[in-house]
């Protein structure tokens, strides 16, 4: 019996120290009425205590024990500030302070607010993003589109370039393409040795061709000089 009596006394004492937190939602241009607000719940410490907002914007959280809590609002369409609630066993009124998420709960720089609690909608949640309209400038800002455009221009201009190219140069280009194709086929087939030898052979042929063209140029220059000297000797006679 004594144990039951003691538990009853403790329960009564706890109820006597607990208070009811009351407040209201301040309507503004973002949220002018309850219809715009919708179903909304005010909670302490992630749902330890909670209460729903009524049609006139009021709310009341009953039997909140002494302690320090963080008050937040669960709303689908609107955002609210978080508040710090300090309930003392020696005071009949709680202390309401501002609280920024991520900062220390017992921050000395918190701003004291009035009681009953006033909650003001600060913003409106946006869940849908409108589709962007077609923009030619935006299309050309895409690197892939620029690359495709340059490739198309090269394909269109290639026939004109090939038409005005010297036939001998054109034959050399075709020969180089054929050599690279043979080297690539050799490497893909697994015959790397033949591919490397073909590459070295191509380099030697290129060097020999360059040397022969240089020798031809020198011989042509020498014959031209001799012809000039012969012409001068004939004039002196």
Q: Which domain range does residue 164 map to? A: 136-197
151/118 same-domain check: no
**Banded model confidence at residue 130, pLDDT cuts 50, 70, 90:** confident
- Determine whether 164 is exposed, middle or buried from the number of CB atoms within 10 Å of its CB (0-12, 13-18, 19+): exposed
**β-sheet with 19-25: strand ranges across:** 58-64, 19-25, 117-119
pLDDT at 224 over 80: no
Domain count, the chain: 2
**Banded model confidence at residue 120, pLDDT cuts 50, 70, 90:** very high
39/117 same-domain check: yes
User: What is d(CA 19, CA 22) in angstroms, rounded to the nearest whole number?
Assistant: 9
162/67 same-domain check: no
> Quick one: pLDDT at residue 66?
92
pLDDT at 213 over 80: no
77/27 same-domain check: yes
Which of 124, 149, 168 corresponds to the end of one domain?
A: 124
**37 close to 31: Cβ distance less than 8 angstroms:** yes
Flag whether 149 is in a domain.
Answer: yes
96/141 same-domain check: no
187/108 same-domain check: no
120/140 same-domain check: no
Flag whether 10 is in a domain.
Answer: no
Flag whether 233 is in a domain.
Answer: no
pLDDT at 72 over 90: yes
pLDDT at 6 over 50: no
> Quick one: pLDDT at residue 10?
45
34/84 same-domain check: yes
Of 54 and 11, more confident: 54
> Quick one: pLDDT at residue 42?
95
CATH number at residue 94: 2.60.40
Flag whether 3 is in a domain.
Answer: no
Flag whether 101 is in a domain.
Answer: yes
The mean predicted confidence, pLDDT, of the chain is 76
120/178 same-domain check: no
> Quick one: pLDDT at residue 13?
45
pLDDT at 203 over 70: no
pLDDT at 219 over 70: no
Flag whether 217 is in a domain.
Answer: no
Where helices occur in the chain by DSSP H, the ranges are 2-17, 34-37, 136-140, 143-163, 167-188, 192-236
Torsions phi, psi of 120, nearest 5?
A: -115, 130
Taking alpha carbons only, the member of 83, 97, 21, 5 closest to residue 58 is: 21
Q: What is the DSSP letter of 24?
A: E
pLDDT tens digit sequence for 165-186? 777 777 777 777 777 777 777 7
> Quick one: pLDDT at residue 16?
58
């Amino acid at each position: 019996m004594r144990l039951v009596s003691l538990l009853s006394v403790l329960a009564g004492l706890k109820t006597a120290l607990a208070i009811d937190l009351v407040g209201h939602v301040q309507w503004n241009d973002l949220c002018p009425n309850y219809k715009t607000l919708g179903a909304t719940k005010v909670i302490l410490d992630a749902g330890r205590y909670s209460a729903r907002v009524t049609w006139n914007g009021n709310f009341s959280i009953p039997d909140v024990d002494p302690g320090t809590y963080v008050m937040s609002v669960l709303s689908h369409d609107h955002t609210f500030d978080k508040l710090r609630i300090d309930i003392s066993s020696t005071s009949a009124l709680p202390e309401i302070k501002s609280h920024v998420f991520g900062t220390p709960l017992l921050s000395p720089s918190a701003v004291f607010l009035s009681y009953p609690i006033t909650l003001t909608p600060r913003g409106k949640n946006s869940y849908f993003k409108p589709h962007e309209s077609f923009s030619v400038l935006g299309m050309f800002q895409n690197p892939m589109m620029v690359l495709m455009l340059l490739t198309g221009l090269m394909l269109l201009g290639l026939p004109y370039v090939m038409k005005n190219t010297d036939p001998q140069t054109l034959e050399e280009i075709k020969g180089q393409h054929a050599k690279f194709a043979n080297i690539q086929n050799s490497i893909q087939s697994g015959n790397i040795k033949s591919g490397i030898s073909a590459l070295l052979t191509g380099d030697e042929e290129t060097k020999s061709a360059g040397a022969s063209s240089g020798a031809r140029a020198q011989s042509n220059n020498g014959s031209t000089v001799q012809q000039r000297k012969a012409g001068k000797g004939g004039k002196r006679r």
